[in-house]
Amino acid sequence: MDMKRDYYEDIELFSSGTILFWTVVLLVALFAAPLILSNYHAYLFNLIMVHVIVAVGLNILVGSTGQIALGHAGFFAIGAYATVLLMTELSIPFFAALIIAAFISAFFGFILGLPALRLEGPYLAIATLAFGLAIMHIIGHVELFGGRQGLMAPALNIGIPQLGLDWEICSEKGKYYLILSITILMTLFAVNILKTKAGRAFVAIRDSDIAAEVIGINLTIYKTLAFAVSAFYAGVAGGLFAFVLGFFDPFTFHLILSIIFLVMVVVGGLGSVMGSITGAVLITYLMYDLFKNVDEIPVVGDLMVAVSEQWLTVTGMDNFSMIGLGLVMIGIIIFEPLGIFGAWIRVKKYWKTWPF
């Protein structure tokens, strides 16, 4: 049903008119959205888009290359701190700082990729986890990074102040357009990279690294490249995240954030860019909006407050988001291991082949 007849059909961006149409509708809707969004929702959308960038990048590493990564909050932190420090300490313009920060992050990804060449499975999981935590501790102990007090992001000036080109973005909606454009660019890049030589090498490594090596793929280059690309994405996202939040400290980048990133990719569906985007949207909405304000949901909220007062504690109810995330993680592996994308494929196949 999705047969590809030649190479050009395989690499084209929109495989059918329907997909092109709905993509255009989605883009128009996204660009028009600020007209009706409140400030809080613009903030939430910004957060979602930042997470989309991370999830798309992490998907290249976890979904396409098959490496386990539990330390992406580390790259995210490197991106955030590097962007802000380059802007405040060296007064580099925003875009240049963002790109340099992303390359610094990619360099760290390359470094982490080196030991990862020899590790696999649980050992790789623990090594990446250790990396994420180590970054958090190092940032917390160095004065330049603001220590435990954290850092304040400077004003978001996307012009070049040295040349007198000032373009300061203050409102949430201004940031929304900036982040949206970057997110679209990064997503396009991810979709395309998976159709190049490098992308196909990643997939071959995932399916069997020994077979990939036999057919002439240089594992050293492509595994470290996968780490570097993924870290680049996390770096860009981190740089934007610094301005979405405005203020951050080392504990913003705790282990839990790495877990949230991984869950986005797993829930969305491994190896699919569209899946990662859906996963990031869903998990960010659940974690940062629905579960966080669970006591404000009409009936369920009252019930939960009552339960808390009776048997548990009301102050501890903020932790419901953890419980919710845990249940989502367990549920998705038990009931739908391929994630939302897998469910979508099943539904699509059912309707295409109906009534058989």
DSSP string, 1-58: -----SHHHHH-S-SSHHHHHHHHHHHHHHHHGGGT--HHHHHHHHHHHHHHHHHHHH
By CB under 8 A, residue 312 contacts another protein: yes
By CB under 8 A, residue 315 contacts another protein: yes
Q: Select from 115, 158, 121 the least CA-distant residue to 134.
A: 115
Alpha-carbon distance 238 to 78, whole Å?
7
By CB under 8 A, residue 127 contacts another protein: yes
Choice from 313, 353, 354, 355 touching another protein (CB under 8 A) = 313
Choice from 224, 321, 340, 341 touching another protein (CB under 8 A) = 321
Choice from 221, 297, 300, 323 touching another protein (CB under 8 A) = 323
By CB under 8 A, residue 262 contacts another protein: yes
For residue 122, what are its two tokens? 């649980």
* Residues in 210-229 that interact with another protein by CB under 8 A: 210-211
Q: Select from 180, 248, 189 the least CA-distant residue to 59.
A: 189
Whole-number minimum distance, CB 59 to another protein, in Å? Answer: 12
211/300 with CB nearer another protein: 211
By CB under 8 A, residue 330 contacts another protein: yes
Alpha-carbon distance 157 to 160, whole Å?
8
Choice from 246, 326, 346, 348 touching another protein (CB under 8 A) = 326
Containing H/E element for 275? helix 273-285
Contact 302, 294 (CB under 8 A): no
115-123, 154-162, 176-184, 238-246 -> range binding another protein (CB under 8 A): 115-123
Helix/strand/coil for 144: helix
Kindly give the residue spans of alpha helices, DSSP state H, lying in 60-171: 72-89, 94-116, 122-141
What is the amino acid identity at position 108? F
Whole-number minimum distance, CB 39 to another protein, in Å? Answer: 30
Whole-number minimum distance, CB 279 to another protein, in Å? Answer: 12
By CB under 8 A, residue 300 contacts another protein: no
Alpha-carbon distance 321 to 72, whole Å?
20
Choice from 216, 298, 316, 355 touching another protein (CB under 8 A) = 316
Contact 241, 31 (CB under 8 A): no
99/255 with CB nearer another protein: 255
Binding pattern to another protein, positions 138-167, x when CB under 8 A?
A: x--x--------------------------
Alpha-carbon distance 266 to 282, whole Å?
12
225/332 with CB nearer another protein: 332
Q: Cis link prior to 115 (omega < 30° from 0)?
A: no
Whole-number minimum distance, CB 62 to another protein, in Å? Answer: 7
Residues of this chain that bind another protein (CB under 8 A): 62, 68, 70, 115, 118-119, 121-123, 125-127, 129-131, 133-134, 137-138, 141, 208, 210-211, 255-256, 259, 262-263, 266, 270, 308, 311-313, 315-330, 332-334, 337
